[in-house]
Amino acid sequence: MASILDGKLIRDQILIELSPRVAALAAAGRPPQLAVILIGQNPASEVYVRNKIAACEKIGIRSRKLTPESTITTTELLALIEGLNRDPEVHGILVQLPLPLQVDAGLVLDAVTPEKDVDGFHPVNSGKLLAGAPGLRPCTPSGVMELLRRYGIPIAGRKAVIVGRSDIVGKPMAILLLAANATVTICHSKTSNLDEECRRADILVAAIGRAEMIGEAHIQPGAVVIDVGMNRVDGRLTGDVDPEAMARLSSAYTPVPGGVGPLTIAMLMSNTVQAAEGICG
């Protein structure tokens, strides 16, 4: 029977471990603070931000929520970010996506100083990831690595297949697995014989953003399946992997919800503490 990789359990472990570090920073007069910029009234974004702020409160990280008008221009948003960059009391800056269509998201994300880029999206942090240098890592991929490590799932020498090539999950996930000595294949929407490629995987990571696209034909019996997807279908949340096939064929898997999602927030907290400690490279 497949083991369930409980993201909530690992999240709680990480938050417990962060708490004394937060307390030490506060005692030294440097309480960590996360600034979150939320524009517009996207219900999903509002839920994500609420969960992030709740996690901050749980371990003593200060949070500052900024809610500019949805009509904000790129220039105005850049000025807001520059103010946060200069504020010594703010250690982490998070710009909640998606942004309004009139805003240049690329310019905005690049405007966050790398030392406060707790999402790990800045080109400087991407370069540090590629070079294996210390820096702030993208939260979802680093959360997956924590999950694998804490459940004692071996990576070195194993075949890992990632379905999805986004800058946020797919590419950094591949780099982190490669650094852990896995043999890595990245698949995407143009991959030929996707099912065959996936069936080679000892560790299969689905991050393509299409509900239950990965099914029985894609899963090697005994594989570890990490479902990064979060899709809403007919009012229910589902991942990128058929949950029945995943539970039947895998040796271990992440459920949706309750798998990777909680870890993303936990690693955001970890990045904020790391930024406050000034050990981002």
In degrees, rounded to 5, the angle at the alpha carbon of residue 140 between the alpha carbons of residues 119 and 177 is 115
Question: Which residues contact residue 264 at a Cβ distance below 8 angstroms, ignoring those fewer than 6 apart?
Answer: 139, 140, 143
The DSSP bridge pattern shows strands 203-206 and 224-227 to be: parallel
Task: Give the H or E element holding residue 11.
Answer: helix 7-27
Contact 96, 49 (CB under 8 A): yes
From the list 33, 96, 220, 274, the catalytic residue is 96
From the list 33, 52, 242, 274, the catalytic residue is 52
Tell me the residue ranges of DSSP E strands in the chain: 3-4, 33-37, 62-66, 92-95, 159-163, 183-187, 203-206, 224-227, 231-233, 236-238, 252-253
- Gap between the Cα atoms of 274 and 18, Å rounded: 10
From the list 33, 117, 119, 171, the catalytic residue is 119
Active site (annotated) includes residue 52 = yes
> Amino acid identity of 46?
E
Active site (annotated) includes residue 13 = no
- Gap between the Cα atoms of 113 and 91, Å rounded: 10
Contact 112, 122 (CB under 8 A): yes
By annotation, the residues acting in catalysis are 52, 96, 119
